[in-house]
Structure 1
Amino acid sequence: MLRHAIPPTRFFSQTPNDLIRHPRLNGTAVRLLQWALSLPDGSRETLQTIGEKMPEGRIALRRARQQLEAEGYVHTRRNQCPHTGRWTTRVLVSNVALLAPEEIEAAFAPPGDRMPTVGAPAERAVGASPREKNTEEVNTPHPDAPLVARAAAVLHRVGRTEARLALGIAEAAKLAPLAARWLANGASELELRTAVSAGLPSAVHSPAGFIARRLRDKLPAPRTRLDPAAPAEPLPECAGCGDPLPRGQATGVCAPCTGAVPAPGPGGPRGADRVRAALALAAPAVRVRTALPRL
Structure 2
Amino acid sequence: MAVSNLSPAPRASASSRSHPTARPGYGKRSVPDQRPHREGDFALLPERERHIAGFVDALPDGAAMDIKSLARSQPLYGQMAVGSALRALGVAGHLRHVRCLSGEGGQVRWVTRTFWSRCARDNEWWDTFLTAEERRSAPAEAAVPAAPGVGAPAETSVPAPALAPAPASLHVPAQPPVTTVPQQRTAEPEAEPGARPEAGPGPVADRQPSPAFLALARLGRTEPRLALSAADCAALEQAAAEWLTRGVDTDYLTRALTAGLPASVDSPFGLVRRRLRDKLPPRLPAAAPSVPGTPVRRLMVECTECGVPGRPEAFRDGLCRPCRQPDPDPEV
- Pick the structure with more strand per residue: 2
Larger Rg: 2
Mark yes or no: TM-score above 0.5. no
TM-score by length of 1: 0.30
Question: So what's the TM-score if we normalise by structure 2?
Answer: 0.27
Q: Which has the higher helix share?
A: 1
Q: Which has the higher contact order (CA 8 A, sep 6+)?
A: 2
